Amino acid sequence: MTRGNQRDLARAKAQKKQEKAGGSKKSDDGLSHQQRKERDAEMMRKKQDLAKQAKGLAA
């Protein structure tokens, strides 16, 4: 097997590229699960209120 370490080299290169790009897909904002849940619920309530207002104005 002449290319035995190719996978390891590619994995290391991809990891380095991802770190340079700033990147993990998961956002770690320092909030607990409950805090994140409450924040997201509040955002959704605001979004729903805006949609209701827009629908009311359009009707």
Q: What pLDDT sits at residue 30?
A: 83
pLDDT reported for residue 23: 54
Nearest to 5 by CA among 15, 13, 16, 17: 13
Segments of the chain with pLDDT less than 50: none
pLDDT of residue 25: 56
SS3 state at 52: helix
Q: Is 32 helix (H, G, I), strand (E, B) or coil?
A: coil
Tokens, residue 25? 């897909």
User: Would you state the pLDDT for residue 21?
Assistant: 79
Amino acid 2: pLDDT: 61
- Give residue 58's pLDDT: 75
Q: Report the sign of the C-alpha dihedral through residues 27, 30, 32, 37, in that order.
A: negative
